[in-house]
Amino acid sequence: MAVLDSADLRLRHPEKAHRPDLPVSQKPDWIRVKAPGSPGYAETRRIVRANGLHTVCVEANCPNIGECWEKKHATFMIMGDICTRACAFCNVKTGLPGPLDREEPQRVADAVAKLGLSHVVVTSVDRDDLSDGGARHFADVICAIRACTPSTIEVLTPDFLRKEGALETVVAARPEVFNHNLETVPSLYLTVRPGARYFASLRLLQRVKELDPRIFTKSGIMVGLGEERNEVMQLMDDLRAAAVDFLTIGQYLQPTRKHHHVARFVTPDEFKAYETVAYAKGFLMVSASPLTRSSYHASEDFERLRASRRGEPSSSPMMRMHPLGSCSREV
């Protein structure tokens, strides 16, 4: 559980280096996953490395990497692997990033084509050092993928805090899904997500729908950080007030002893209860389980969203129909 980056032995989390060590709780049986190593996993890793790309699967130490990469599903992380923020839950490196790589959009598009992805998820580090927070780079990646493949595109963006016009730039590129995670309840923001603002993130999601109601909106949170159940209920109401379509809820897992501790492991039954309540509140789609992550099963979930928009019966008995208007491009 070191805070060193094994690649170059620099501090991966310099802002956390002097924090006291926190205990790391033993994971319950329902959290355990098998180690990756299938041929599909190896081929995905080869393509990612050959194109000089980063993935949130690796950088955030995602527990689902074996399952997803076996199916050649990777979530690309653009604009480098160094984040300008220092969230207490996140395992992505922090510091001062380098300049943008102008060739990266084409390399991402090439990798999407080689992997044969029908639906691709693109996320990024926070780039508070850039005047637009990296919004133009997101749009360039979307355009490059569109030029090379028929893939549908889901973006998971930062909040672009105080970057005028940034959100509009990404929305104008017309991703099929716009995801921005709230991560946790507002009472925990100062300790868990100190660089962000809860209501700014809510407003960003609401603004996406105002700019283009054809785009699906999505947000996710972690539980087990110390939140109360009634706070999660209120967060759901806040997201529905912002017309968010899709909610993901997953268990927080502590990356190192320097990160925020796990207050408790939420049981599978509790996740099921959250899912039931969220559907009752009107979400078009809900994914709630201990191993749920923002892009986990994103391709299958997108197909379910698209079917629901067309008014087709869902494979999920919990699914609610929610008309969102017509589209010039069928999504």
| pLDDT one-digit tens code per residue, 117-141 | 989 999 999 999 999 999 999 999 9
Could you say which DSSP state residue 201 is in?
H
Average pLDDT, the chain: 86
* DSSP per-residue letters across 119-168: EEEEEE---TTSTTTTHHHHHHHHHHHHHH---EEEEE----TT-TTHHH
Between the ranges 12-26, 31-45, 313-327, where is the mean pLDDT highest? 12-26
Structure token digits, residue 284: 């078009």
CA distance linking residue 168 with residue 306, whole number of Å:
23
3-state secondary structure of 87: coil
- Amino acid identity for residue 142 in this structure: I
* Pairwise pLDDT comparison (319 vs 223), residue with the higher score: 223
pLDDT of residue 326: 27
Structure tokens at 263: 């207050």
Q: Is the pLDDT of residue 84 over 50?
A: yes
Q: Residue 18 — very low, low, confident or very high, per pLDDT cuts 50/70/90?
A: confident
What letter does residue 31 receive in the DSSP assignment? G
Instruction: Enter the tokens of residue 94.
Output: 């922090």
- Six token digits for residue 236: 């759901």
Rounded-to-integer distance, Cα 224 and Cα 301, Å: 24
Gap between the Cα atoms of 214 and 176, Å rounded: 8
- Please give the angle made by the CA atoms of 223, 293 and 203, to the nearest 5 degrees: 75
DSSP bridge pairs for 222: 250
Alpha-carbon distance of 180 to 295, in angstroms, equals: 11
d(Cα 205, Cα 217) in Å, to the nearest integer? 7
